[in-house]
Amino acid sequence: MILEFLINAIGLGALYALLTIGVALLFGVLGLMNFAYGELILAGAFAMYLFRDQPWPFALLMAIVFAVVVALVSERLAFHPLRNADPVTLMIASFAVSLALQSLARMTVLPRTRGVPPERFLSHRVSILGADVSVLDLVTLVLCGVMLLVVAWLMGRTSLGIQLRAAAEDFRMAASLGVKANLVIPAAFVIVGVLSAIGGAVLVARQGSIGADMGLQPMLIGVVGAVLGGMSSLKGAALGGFLLGAATALLESLLPTDLIAFRDAFLFSALIAVLVVRPQGLLSGAKVRVS
Amino acid sequence: MKNRNRLLDAVQTPAILIGLVLLAAVVGATGDVTTARVATLALVSVVFVTGLSVFSGNSGVMSFGHVMFMAAGAYTTAYLTIPVPLKKTLFSSLPGWLSWLADVHSSFPVALVLGGLVAAVVGVVTAPVVARLSGLQSGIATLAMLLITYNILNSWTEVTRGSSSMIGIPRGTTTWWAFGIAALAVLVAWGYRCSRSGLQLRASREDFWAAQASGIAVGRHRATAWVLSAFLCGLSGALYAGFLTSFNVNGFFLTATFSFVVMIVLGGYLSLSGAVVGALAVSALQEVLRRFQDGQFTGGNELPAGVADLIVAAVLLVVLVKAPYGLMGVRELRLPRRRARLAARAGADARAEEPVGVS
A102: chain B residues, CB-CB within 8 Å: 306, 309
Q: How far is CA A218 from CA A130, A211, A221, A226, B140, in A?
A: 32, 13, 5, 12, 16
- Quick check: B252 and B74 in contact, CB under 8 A? yes
For residue A288, name the pLDDT band (cuts at 50, 70, 90): very low
Asked if B181 and B239 count as a contact pair (C-beta separation under 8 A), the reply is yes
List pLDDT tens digits, range B207-237: 889 998 998 888 899 999 999 999 999 999 9
C-alpha B218/C-alpha B197 separation (Å) is: 9
CB contact under 8 A, A276 and B324: no
Give the span between the Cα atoms of A44 and A196, in whole angstroms.
7
Stronger pLDDT, B92 or A118, i.e. the higher one: B92
Other residues' Cβ atoms within 10 Å of the Cβ of residue B343: 10
Residues in chain A whose Cβ is within 8 Å of chain B: 31, 33, 77-78, 81-82, 85-89, 91-93, 95-97, 99-100, 102-104, 106-108, 111, 216, 220, 223-224, 227, 261-262, 264-265, 268-269, 271-272, 275-276, 279, 290-291
Does the beta-carbon distance from B313 to A269 stay under 8 Å? Answer: no
Query: Closest approach of chain B CAs to the CA of A7, in angstroms?
Result: 28
The H or E element containing residue A131 is strand A131-134
Cα–Cα distance for residue pair A41/A210, rounded to 1 Å: 10
Instruction: Please tell me the distance from the alpha carbon of residue B195 to that of residue B199, in angstroms, as a whole number.
Output: 6
Q: pLDDT for A211-223, tens place per residue?
A: 888 888 888 888 8
Distance CA B265, CA B180 (A): 25
d(CA A157, CA B274): 50
User: Who among A82, A95, A276 is closest to B261 (CB)?
Assistant: A95
Instruction: Select from B128, B137, B139 the Cβ nearest to the Cβ of A279.
Output: B137
The pLDDT assigned to A284 comes to 56
End-to-end CA distance of chain B: 31
**Which residue is closest to B208 within chain A, CA to CA?**
A291
Residues 6+ apart with CB under 8 A from B240: B41, B44, B70, B73, B74, B173, B247, B251
Q: What is the pLDDT of residue A282?
A: 66
Gap from B125 CA to chain A (nearest CA, Å)? 13
CB B14 within 8 A of CB B190: yes
Q: How many CB pairs under 8 A join A and B?
A: 126
With cut-offs at 50, 70 and 90, classify the pLDDT of residue B182: very high
- Residue from A73, A38, A50, A92 nearest A216 by CA: A38
pLDDT at A291: 32
**Rg of chain B over CA atoms, in angstroms?**
22
**Confidence label for A130 from pLDDT (cuts 50, 70 and 90):** low
For A231, the closest chain B residue by CA position comes to B137
For residues A163 and A179, what is the distance between their CA atoms, to the nearest angstrom?
A: 6
What is the per-residue pLDDT for B104?
Answer: 84
The helix/strand/coil state of A127 is: strand
| B320 → closest Cβ in A93, A99, A107 | A93
Q: CB–CB of B130/B142 below 8 Å? A: yes
Residues A156 and A168: their CA atoms lie apart, in Å, by 13
> For residue B340, what pLDDT is reported?
53
At B359 the three-state DSSP class reads coil
**pLDDT, averaged across chain A:** 82
Nearest C-alpha neighbor of B317 from the set A33, A36, A90: A90
Dump pLDDT digits (tens) for B265-284: 888 888 888 899 999 999 99
ipTM (interface predicted TM): 0.82
A31's CB contacts (< 8 A; 6+ apart) are A86, A87, A90, B136
Give whole-number Cα distances, B117 to B50, B62, B195, B221, B228, in Å. Answer: 17, 22, 21, 19, 10
Classify residue B138 as exposed, middle or buried by CB count within 10 Å of its CB (0-12, 13-18, 19+).
buried
- Cross-chain Cβ contact B132/A276 below 8 Å: yes
Residue A263: closest CA among chain B residues belongs to which residue?
B151
Residue B304 DSSP label: P
- Tell me the C-alpha distance between A215 and A45, whole Å: 9
**A281: nearest CA partner in chain B:** B137
B196 vs A108, higher pLDDT = B196
pTM for this prediction: 0.86
| Residue A278: pLDDT over 60 | yes
> What angle, rounded to 10 degrees, do the helices at B33-59 and B2-30 form?
140
Average pLDDT value for residue range A159-170: 83
CB contact under 8 A, A82 and B320: yes
**Identity of residue B236:** S
Question: Residue A91: which of B136, B321, B324 has the nearest Cβ?
Answer: B136
Contact A99 B309 (CB under 8 A): yes
pLDDT at A190: 93
Length of chain A: 291
Helix or strand or coil: residue A66? helix
Is the per-residue pLDDT at A191 higher than 80? yes
Of A87, A93, A99, nearest to B135 by CB-CB distance is: A87
Please name the member of A33, A107, A264 whose beta carbon is closest to the beta carbon of B310: A107
The pLDDT of residue A3 is 76
Mention every residue, 6+ apart, whose C-beta is less than 8 A from residue A274.
A227, A228, A281, A282
Residue in B62, B353, B70, B1 with CA at minimum distance from that of residue B232: B70
Angle between helices A87-108 and A37-50 (to 10 degrees): 20
Mean pLDDT of A227-246: 80
Of A262-276, B169-183, B251-265, the poorest mean pLDDT is in A262-276
Q: Which residues of A touch B137 (CB under 8 A)?
A: 275, 279, 290
Cβ–Cβ < 8 Å for A83, A19:
no
State the alpha helices, DSSP H only, in chain B.
2-30, 33-59, 67-81, 84-90, 108-132, 135-155, 157-160, 175-194, 196-206, 208-213, 218-244, 254-267, 272-293, 307-322, 336-358
Closest CA of chain A from B312, distance in Å: 8
Burial class (CB within 10 angstroms; exposed 0-12, middle 13-18, buried 19+) of B276: buried
**Which segments of chain A does DSSP mark as H helices, in order?**
2-30, 37-50, 56-74, 87-108, 135-157, 159-169, 171-176, 181-207, 216-229, 234-254, 257-260, 263-277
Cβ contacts of A96 on chain B, cutoff 8 Å: 258, 262, 313-314, 316-317, 320
CB contact under 8 A, B151 and A82: no
Cβ neighbours around B86 below 10 Å, total? 12
Over residues A68-83, the mean pLDDT reads: 88
Considering only CB atoms, A276 lies closest to which of B133, B254, B320, namely B133
The predicted model gives A131-140 an average pLDDT of 76
Which of A88, A220, A224 is opposite residue B136, by nearest beta carbon?
A: A88
For residue B304, list chain A residues with Cβ-Cβ distance below 8 A: 106-108, 111
Residue of A nearest to B139 (CA): A88
Q: State how far the alpha carbon of A53 is from the alpha carbons of A119, A140, A202, B204, in Å.
A: 9, 21, 17, 59
Nearest C-alpha neighbor of B112 from the set B184, B49, B60, B215: B184
Is it the case that residue B357 has pLDDT exceeding 50? Answer: no
Rounded Cα–Cα distance for residues A210 and A66 (Å): 15
Alpha carbon of B144: minimum distance to chain A alpha carbons (Å):
6
